[in-house]
Amino acid sequence: MHTQPNVLQVDNLNIAAKSSRGALPLVRNVNLELTPGKVLGLIGESGSGKTVTSMALMQLLDQRAMQVQGNIQLHGQELNGMPTKAMRAIRGKEIGFIMQNPMNAFTPVYTIGNQFVETIRTHTGLGKKQAVELAIASLESMNLEEPAKLMKKYPFQLSGGMLQRVMIAISMSLRPAVVIADEPTTALDVTNQLQVLKELDRLRTECGTAILLISHDLGVISQLADEVAVMRRGEIVEQAEVCDLFDRPQHEYTKKLLQARPVMPFTDSLNRLVI
């Protein structure tokens, strides 16, 4: 069988919170592989370490508070410990990030348009006019109406769901090799959830983007993920192809997670997204 090279490979990731009483382990021995065009789902109860893991991959954890050990390789390039400036060039361009809390992703004092255009221009050679056009097209693809007007607004003038869609538009506009999506649909109503899932699916099929999808919504996971990793208390306890995991969970914890919420019977992933 032909195996595709990994775009993002995480080996032996350990994360600990620094405290006066020493390091408090939050994430232990995590190994993850993201391949082009594939979606890896990450599930696990609240507090199990999903967000901390995703923040570590982006090198967004505060080094004064957290200790991150292990290898995080993007196309073979080590990200862990990379200087801030070099990492900034990768974030957004090579790795798109959809944060669990959209408010944190924006600066309150600049308009949406300002921040969007600035992000595009930082990472591409595009002029102002083309950057504005790209921003507007991306906002439209997220079902956001009157994008030109929207660009003139400030983050606090938008609802959580709208901000979430703007953030997704920004993270997708540069067609990154990797997208890390932390609960991308949680703040959205059903129509917009579907739109986001479709866009993520389009990104992976059209651009071959590798996606890490964190969600507590097993319906979302079953629709989009190819493989699923299950996290419990900072450790991956089980990882399998999505249909195997849903049909034949091995670990007791996975069985409990699946029982906690009724899941739609598994069909061929994503065919159901087409409406």
Q: How far is the CB of 51 from Ni ion (least distance, A)?
A: 3
Partner in contact with 47, chosen from ligand ATP, Ni ion, none, beta carbon below 5 to 8 Å by kind? ligand ATP
> Would you tell me how many other CB atoms lie within 10 Å of the CB of residue 114?
14
Residues near 52 by Cβ (< 8 Å), separated by ≥ 6? 15, 26, 27, 61, 66
Nearer to ligand ATP, 3 or 19 (CB): 19
Nearer to Ni ion, 100 or 192 (CB): 100
Single out the residue of 162, 75, 150, 70 nearest to residue 116, CA to CA: 150
Alpha-carbon distance of 188 to 186, in angstroms, equals 6
DSSP per position, 63-124 = TTTEEEEEEEEETTEE-TT--HHHHHHHBTTTEEEE-SSGGGGS-TTS-HHHHHHHHHHHHS
Bridge partners, residue 39, by sequence: 211
Q: Is 250 in the site for Ni ion (CB under 5 A)?
A: no
Residue 30 host element (H or E): strand 22-34
Partner in contact with 49, chosen from Ni ion, ligand ATP, none, beta carbon below 5 to 8 Å by kind? ligand ATP
Q: Sign of dihedral through CA atoms 64, 65, 71, 73? A: negative
Q: Is 51 in the site for Ni ion (CB under 5 A)?
A: yes
Nearer to ligand ATP, 60 or 263 (CB): 60
Partner in contact with 44, chosen from Ni ion, ligand ATP, none, beta carbon below 5 to 8 Å by kind? ligand ATP
Nearer to ligand ATP, 94 or 183 (CB): 183
Tell me the number of residues near Ni ion by CB under 5 A.
3
Question: What residue ranges bind ligand ATP (CB under 6 A)?
Answer: 17, 26, 44, 46-52, 65, 100, 216
Amino acid at 202: R
Nearer to Ni ion, 6 or 59 (CB): 59
Stretch near Ni ion under the rule CB under 5 A, chosen from 43-51, 109-117, 159-167, 170-178: 43-51
Q: How far is the CB of 30 from ligand ATP (least distance, A)?
A: 11
Cα 187–chain centre separation: 14
Binding marks (x or -) toward Ni ion, 194..213, rule CB under 5 A?
A: --------------------
Single out the residue of 269, 275, 271, 272 nearest to residue 40, CA to CA: 269
- Tell me which residue has its CB nearest to Ni ion: 51
Restricting to residues 52-111, which ones interact with Ni ion according to CB under 5 A? 100
Q: Is 130 in the site for Ni ion (CB under 5 A)?
A: no
Nearer to ligand ATP, 141 or 254 (CB): 254
Alpha-carbon distance of 175 to 219, in angstroms, equals 25
Q: How far is the CB of 52 from Ni ion (least distance, A)?
A: 8
Instruction: State how far the alpha carbon of 134 is from the alpha carbons of 38, 121, 131, in Å.
Output: 25, 10, 5
Which residues are at the interface with Ni ion (CB under 5 A)?
50-51, 100
